[in-house]
Chain A
Amino acid sequence: MNNGVLLSGKSLSKKYGDLEVVKDVSLSVKAGEFICLVGKSGCGKTTLLSLLSGLERPTAGQVMFDGKDITSATEDELALLRRQNVGFIFQSFNLIPTLSAWENVALPLFPIAMKQQEREQRALELLEKMEMGHRTNHLPSALSGGEKQRVAIARALINRPKVLFADEPTGNLDSATGDAIMVILNRLHREEGVGVLMVTHEVDLAKTADRLIRMRDGEVIS
């Protein structure tokens, strides 16, 4: 790790056919830093998040995670990197509809050889922390939007990640519920030192972040 930098992207570009979505972007994220990527819809925020998290490969440029170049890592190496170091929070929650709340939280642990009891214990602790202790056995269809996102946050935390990637985490929630989710993310950052890289188009949500990065037309403008 250099100067506390956990994650960095250097001259990142991403093209889909002739369309260049991310254009020569360089940025770094320190361990435990809360960064907000803001910009209008279609400006390339989500693509940049995907590049930095290893979900997407850049057309050009390099991504370093914890001192390792992950640009040329294999699919399985990237999957293991995500399993061990990264948590994801999506706008649409992306919970598995056939699994209960605690099973959704434990989902990243399913491929790991460990006792089911241990998985459940860890999932229940996190759900308790998210004030969801009373909804642990409910299917996602029985949960409200805010509850689903709390389950998704607990899932993102189950592997004790170094950084959380949050893509419009309040986008599908009403403002009160969205605020509550932001309180949780801020608390995780402040009290537990979890790094957060959050994509949003609402500048107001970014006011509590350590750093604000603005994007327009695939480029970082400030």
Chain B
Amino acid sequence: MNLHYLTNELYYQKRRTLTAILGLSIGIALLIILNALSAAYRQAAHAPLKEIGADITVQRPGDVPKDLTGVVFPCSAVTIRDDQVKKIEGLDGVRGIGKAVLLWIFDPNRAWIVLGLEQQNSVGPAVLRSAVTEGRYLEPGKPEALVEISYARQFGIKVGDTITMANTSFPVAGLVDASRAAKIAVANVYVPLEEAQKLAAASSQVQSVSPFSPADVNLLFIKADQEKITDLASALRNIVDKKATIGTPDSFLKLLGSFFALSDKLTMAASLIAIIVAVLIAFKTMAGNIAERAREIGVLKAVGWTNHNVVSQLLAESVIQCFLAGIFGLVLAAIAAFGLSFMNVSIPIPWDMSPTPHFLPGGGDQIFKTLRLPVHIPWILAGFGVLLSVVIGGVTGAMLGRTISRIKPSEVLRHE
């Protein structure tokens, strides 16, 4: 292979070089951006759970109580027994569990959505700690409450007041802006888990629908090994209930409904199509370019180049061209990724993860988690795109080189 000949050929045959580079780079850019988009949707699907520090949520649907008075469970979240929680803690892939109790409290003059949470747990609604806007966060051992700021405004509740729910009084320790923290597991009032457990256990309405002991819960937030989430989802159903609502990044992904969010297999199929398009483009443009050079190849052979010399030269040209195409494709993909990263994606929160009763104002409204689509090109994808381009160049160059090197110089040089 002669480097000087190679660079001259690429430099002076600009049309040929640019056609080959542009054609292949479009295919490579398509491949990279398809995978980057798919990864971005996947990452976005983690957002609703990630903002409460979890990878999986677990709820068990149950019956609606006869009378909506006093303390009741939402029909989407009834008792998960303590022994079931212990079994879950022992599952392979579970790195941490946050427990919570979600209650609806219907007092004669007001309805409360109350969430009992573990104050010190980093998994689950305790992430609200960072959303306290006034007063302070719940302190261990104190039966006090945090009130959601818009609810507090609506009913004139201030830090230092005492609120009474189901005949139990709670001093208001602080106000929280839950809208800054999470779209799931939001409530009007947050109390220590044990307080909520006491309220639930004492409620005849709760007990009539779903027997509840003071150590039980009705919401679980699980931090898990990413690669085991799918297996865990099925194990959780086996432990809790076949009909349990298991919220995972995959379940949110399905709700997105985007082509890129549908499945790994579709992305794989689209990627394969992009690769095939890239190979066809490379093959067609290079075959055309090499065919134009039949006479030149005839001259090379006439002056003593062997088939191997010819193939090596064409192979090197093809690999360099395709390497440049890979780099250019990467640049195109990066520009596209930058443009797409301004796109917003709205992830619908399933009704059964929304704590607001559907019969209350705004309760039936669809809730969305909206965020910027986090499109970026990982190094490994960028490297794969360029490497693939080089491999395409190598295979194409070798195949076309072998074919064209077999021409007889006398045939192409005959007709002067």
Asked whether A83 lies within 8 Å of B416 as measured between CB atoms, the reply is no
Asked whether A98 lies within 8 Å of B410 as measured between CB atoms, the reply is no
- Taking the complex as formed, is A135 at the interface, i.e. its CB lies under 8 A from any CB of chain B? no
- If A55-B302, A76-B306, A76-B308 touch, whether A90 touches B5 (CB-CB below 8 Å) is no
Asked whether B302 lies within 8 Å of A82 as measured between CB atoms, the reply is yes
- 8 Å CB contacts to B: which residues of A153-178? 155, 159, 167-168, 171-172
Interface centre among B300, B414, B416 (most CB of A within 10 A): B416
**Of A55, A84, A99, A167, the contact of B408 (CB 8 Å cutoff):** A55
User: Smallest CB-CB separation from A156: which chain B residue?
Assistant: B303
Chain A residues with a Cβ closer than 8 Å to the other chain, count? 35
Asked whether A97 lies within 8 Å of B416 as measured between CB atoms, the reply is no
| Chain B residues closer than 8 Å to A172, beta-carbon distance | 416
- 8 Å CB contacts to A: which residues of B298-348? 298-309
| Chain B residues closer than 8 Å to A26, beta-carbon distance | none
Asked whether B416 lies within 8 Å of A111 as measured between CB atoms, the reply is no
- If A82-B304, A111-B305 touch, whether A97 touches B12 (CB-CB below 8 Å) is yes
User: When chains A and B are docked, how far (Å) is the Cα of A26 from the Cα of B5?
Assistant: 40
* A71-115 interface bits toward B, Cβ cutoff 8 Å, 1 = contact, 0 = none: 000011001101110101011101011110001000110110000
User: Smallest CB-CB separation from A168: which chain B residue?
Assistant: B416
Expressed in whole angstroms, the minimum distance between the Cβ of B233 and any Cβ of chain A is 61
- Taking the complex as formed, is A116 at the interface, i.e. its CB lies under 8 A from any CB of chain B? yes
Total number of A-B contacts with CB less than 8 angstroms?
A: 81
- Taking the complex as formed, is B8 at the interface, i.e. its CB lies under 8 A from any CB of chain A? yes
- Taking the complex as formed, is A56 at the interface, i.e. its CB lies under 8 A from any CB of chain B? yes
- Taking the complex as formed, is B402 at the interface, i.e. its CB lies under 8 A from any CB of chain A? no
- If A82-B304, A83-B304 touch, whether A111 touches B413 (CB-CB below 8 Å) is no
Asked whether A111 lies within 8 Å of B304 as measured between CB atoms, the reply is yes
User: Smallest CB-CB separation from B6: which chain A residue?
Assistant: A98
User: Smallest CB-CB separation from A46: which chain B residue?
Assistant: B414
| Chain B residues closer than 8 Å to A76, beta-carbon distance | 306-308
| Chain A residues closer than 8 Å to B89, beta-carbon distance | none
- Taking the complex as formed, is A50 at the interface, i.e. its CB lies under 8 A from any CB of chain B? yes
Asked whether A80 lies within 8 Å of B410 as measured between CB atoms, the reply is no
User: When chains A and B are docked, how far (Å) is the Cα of A76 from the Cα of B5?
Assistant: 21
* B248-268 interface bits toward A, Cβ cutoff 8 Å, 1 = contact, 0 = none: 000000000000000000000
- If A46-B414, A79-B304, A116-B4 touch, whether A111 touches B309 (CB-CB below 8 Å) is yes
User: When chains A and B are docked, how far (Å) is the Cα of A47 from the Cα of B300?
Assistant: 19
User: When chains A and B are docked, how far (Å) is the Cα of A84 from the Cα of B308?
Assistant: 17
- 8 Å CB contacts to A: which residues of B1-38? 2, 4-5, 8-9, 11-13
**Of B8, B13, B304, B410, the contact of A108 (CB 8 Å cutoff):** B304
- Taking the complex as formed, is A139 at the interface, i.e. its CB lies under 8 A from any CB of chain B? yes
- Taking the complex as formed, is B139 at the interface, i.e. its CB lies under 8 A from any CB of chain A? no
Expressed in whole angstroms, the minimum distance between the Cβ of A117 and any Cβ of chain B is 12
- Taking the complex as formed, is B357 at the interface, i.e. its CB lies under 8 A from any CB of chain A? no
Asked whether A98 lies within 8 Å of B304 as measured between CB atoms, the reply is no
| Chain B residues closer than 8 Å to A46, beta-carbon distance | 414
| Chain B residues closer than 8 Å to A47, beta-carbon distance | 410
| Chain A residues closer than 8 Å to B2, beta-carbon distance | 110-111
- If A55-B302, A55-B409, A159-B304 touch, whether A94 touches B295 (CB-CB below 8 Å) is yes
Expressed in whole angstroms, the minimum distance between the Cβ of A157 and any Cβ of chain B is 11
- If A91-B416, A92-B416, A103-B8 touch, whether A155 touches B303 (CB-CB below 8 Å) is yes
| Chain A residues closer than 8 Å to B305, beta-carbon distance | 79, 83, 108, 110-111
| Chain A residues closer than 8 Å to B307, beta-carbon distance | 75-76, 79
| Chain B residues closer than 8 Å to A155, beta-carbon distance | 303
Asked whether B12 lies within 8 Å of A50 as measured between CB atoms, the reply is no
Interface centre among B11, B302, B309, B408 (most CB of A within 10 A): B302
User: When chains A and B are docked, how far (Å) is the Cα of A36 from the Cα of B12?
Assistant: 38
- Taking the complex as formed, is B296 at the interface, i.e. its CB lies under 8 A from any CB of chain A? yes
Asked whether B8 lies within 8 Å of A98 as measured between CB atoms, the reply is yes
Asked whether A98 lies within 8 Å of B13 as measured between CB atoms, the reply is yes
User: When chains A and B are docked, how far (Å) is the Cα of A168 from the Cα of B299?
Assistant: 16
28 chain-A/chain-B pairs, Cβ below 8 angstroms: A47-B410, A50-B410, A55-B410, A55-B413, A76-B308, A79-B307, A82-B303, A82-B304, A83-B304, A84-B304, A90-B413, A90-B416, A91-B416, A94-B298, A94-B413, A96-B5, A97-B12, A99-B5, A103-B5, A103-B8, A108-B304, A110-B309, A111-B304, A116-B4, A155-B303, A159-B304, A167-B416, A172-B416
A-B CB proximity, top 9 nearest? A83-B304, A98-B12, A111-B309, A55-B410, A108-B303, A50-B410, A110-B2, A56-B410, A91-B416
Interface residues of B (CB under 8 A from A): 2, 4-5, 8-9, 11-13, 295-296, 298-309, 408-410, 413-414, 416
Interface residues of A (CB under 8 A from B): 46-47, 50, 55-56, 75-76, 79-80, 82-84, 86, 88, 90-92, 94, 96-99, 103, 107-108, 110-111, 116, 139, 155, 159, 167-168, 171-172
